[in-house]
């Protein structure tokens, strides 16, 4: 009798396991076909001369050596990408935090504002918005028309090699919605009594922010930093649609170079090698941020999960 129930339990456990696997099958299949397979294959191609139409030909480390020693644009596009990440990521986090602080206040119609402020994040990555940006920031575009009302001379936001990268970064900052929502959730988690205690101790608004709010938000900042950094290193759409990497290759981000090598010059193997270098860079940067986190993030529960 006892063994029977045990077996029943066992089979029912097995069946529920099978059903569970069935439920996540779409994800697993998607992962294997669209992520793991391309991941491995691109590593293999990175050691080959491959033009997507002809059969790949093994060339050893040649692609990597050429990238580091011969390519006239490799270091330039790396540098551009790092500058882009350095501007766009902190800019986005600070902006998202400010908006989150405003939306955390008790205002009338607050939910309406929250929805409105999230909109750019839904639209941000699309081609249509990139084209809109091109018109807004053209020499005789709306932004310059507004500036002229304050007697400021027109600026070539996208046409000048010295300015374009900042303008492109601004597009990224503008899509602050998802980070903002996380900050908002984090702000709601901070216990009210801490603020009351700070008030009793005579701390002003600014002091409270730096001594109470910011330390308690550090886990969220940490998470946002990692996610946004990983995204920013792979940025492609804005530079491709708005500026095509120009003017003077000032917005020639790494993703754009990769695309050009692969699809314009048919050097798929070379592009694969490039994408692996980017992968290693992103992994290293992420590891660095993780290593640094004990020094600046604060966990209520000592970081236990």
Partner 1 sequence: MKKSVKRIMVVCILAILTLSIVGGLSIQAAKPKKVQLRFSWWGNDARHKATLKAIELYTKKNPHVEIMAEYGGFGTYYQKLLTQLAGRTAADIIQIDYKWVNDLASQGKLFVDMSKMSNKIDMSGFDKKFVKDQCAVGDYILGLPTGISVLGLIGNDSLLKEAGINIDQDWDWDKIIEEGVKLQKFDKNKHLLYMKTIHYYYLTKVMLKQKTGTDFINDDYTLAFTKKDLVDVFSYIRKMIDLGVVPPLEETVLFDGGDPDQNPNWLQGQYAFNSNQASKLAAIIGASKFDIDVARYPVPKNAKNPGLITSPAQILTINKNSDHIDEAAKFVNWFFNDPEAILTLRDTRGLPAVKKAREILMKENLLDERVVRMVDVTLPFSGGAENALSLNQEIETIVEDYIHQVGFKKLTPEKAADNMMKDLNYKLQELKSAK
Among 243, 272, 274, 275, binds partner 1 (CB under 8 A): 243
Residue 46 or 228 with smaller CB distance to partner 1: 46
Within a 13 Å sphere around the CA of 292, how many CA atoms are in the beta-carbon half? Answer: 13
Q: How far is the CB of 36 from partner 1 (least distance, A)?
A: 19
Segment interacting with partner 1, rule: CB under 8 A, options 1-9, 29-37, 50-58, 205-213: 50-58
Residue 80 or 243 with smaller CB distance to partner 1: 243
Q: Report the distance separating Cα 177 and Cα 184, nearest Å.
A: 10
Query: C-alpha dihedral over 20, 21, 22, 26, to 10 degrees?
Result: 120
CA angle 146, 149, 154 (to 5 degrees): 65
Instruction: Based on DSSP, count helices (H) and strands (E) in the chain, helices before strands.
Output: 15, 2
- Residues 113/194, Cβ–Cβ less than 8 Å: no
What sign results for the dihedral spanned by CA atoms 111, 116, 121, 126? positive
Q: Which of residues 69-128 bind partner 1 (CB under 8 A)?
A: 70, 72
- Residues 104/187, Cβ–Cβ less than 8 Å: yes
> What tokens does 233 get?
């290193």
Q: Report the distance separating Cα 154 and Cα 18, nearest Å.
A: 65
Q: How far is the CB of 246 from partner 1 (least distance, A)?
A: 5
Q: How far is the CB of 47 from partner 1 (least distance, A)?
A: 16
Q: Omega into 56 within 30° of 0, i.e. cis?
A: no
- Residues 163/155, Cβ–Cβ less than 8 Å: yes
Residue 140 or 151 with smaller CB distance to partner 1: 140
Q: How far is the CB of 85 from partner 1 (least distance, A)?
A: 24
In 46-102, where do the E strands start and end? 48-49, 57-58
Residues binding partner 1: number (CB under 8 A): 28
Q: How far is the CB of 261 from partner 1 (least distance, A)?
A: 9
Among 249, 253, 269, 277, binds partner 1 (CB under 8 A): 249
Segment interacting with partner 1, rule: CB under 8 A, options 27-35, 221-229, 243-251, 277-285: 243-251
Q: Which of residues 124-183 bind partner 1 (CB under 8 A)?
A: 134-135, 138-140, 156, 158-161
Which DSSP symbol is given to 298?
-
- Does residue number 238 form part of the binding site for partner 1 (CB under 8 A)? no
Q: Which of residues 254-273 bind partner 1 (CB under 8 A)?
A: 260, 263-266
Q: How far is the CB of 297 from partner 1 (least distance, A)?
A: 42
Q: Which of residues 175-234 bind partner 1 (CB under 8 A)?
A: none
Q: How far is the CB of 43 from partner 1 (least distance, A)?
A: 19
Q: Report the distance separating Cα 199 and Cα 203, nearest Å.
A: 5
Q: Report the distance separating Cα 30 and Cα 38, nearest Å.
A: 11
Binding site for partner 1 (CB under 8 A): 49, 51-54, 70, 72, 134-135, 138-140, 156, 158-161, 243-244, 246-249, 260, 263-266
């Amino acid at each position: 009798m006892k063994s029977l129930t045990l077996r029943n339990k066992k089979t029912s456990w097995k069946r529920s396991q099978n059903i569970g696997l069935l439920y996540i099958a779409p994800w697993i299949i998607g992962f294997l076909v669209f992520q793991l397979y391309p991941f491995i294959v691109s590593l293999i191609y990175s050691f080959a001369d491959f033009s997507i139409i002809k059969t790949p030909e093994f060339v050893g480390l040649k692609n990597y050596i050429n990238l580091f020693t011969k390519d006239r644009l490799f270091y330039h596009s790396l540098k551009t990408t790092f500058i882009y990440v350095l501007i766009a990521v902190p800019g986005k986090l600070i902006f998202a935090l400010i908006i989150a602080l405003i939306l955390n206040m008790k205002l009338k119609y607050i939910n309406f504002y929250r929805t409105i402020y999230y909109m750019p994040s839904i639209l941000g990555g699309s081609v249509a918005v990139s084209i809109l940006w091109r018109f807004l920031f053209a020499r005789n575009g709306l932004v310059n028309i507004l500036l002229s009302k304050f007697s400021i001379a027109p600026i070539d936001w996208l046409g000048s090699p010295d300015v374009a990268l900042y303008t492109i970064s601004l597009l990224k900052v503008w899509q602050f919605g998802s980070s903002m929502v996380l900050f908002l959730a984090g702000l709601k988690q901070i216990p009210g009594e801490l603020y009351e205690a700070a008030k009793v101790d005579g701390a002003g608004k600014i002091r409270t922010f730096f001594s109470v709010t910011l330390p308690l938000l550090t886990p969220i900042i940490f998470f946002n930093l990692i996610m946004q950094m990983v995204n920013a290193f792979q940025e492609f759409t804005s530079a491709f649609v708005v500026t095509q990497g120009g003017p003077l290759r000032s917005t020639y981000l790494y993703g754009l170079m990769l695309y050009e090598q692969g699809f314009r010059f048919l050097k798929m193997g070379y592009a694969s090698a490039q994408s692996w270098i980017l992968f290693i860079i992103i992994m290293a940067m992420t590891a660095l941020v993780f290593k640094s986190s004990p020094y600046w993030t604060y966990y209520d529960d000592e970081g236990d999960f």
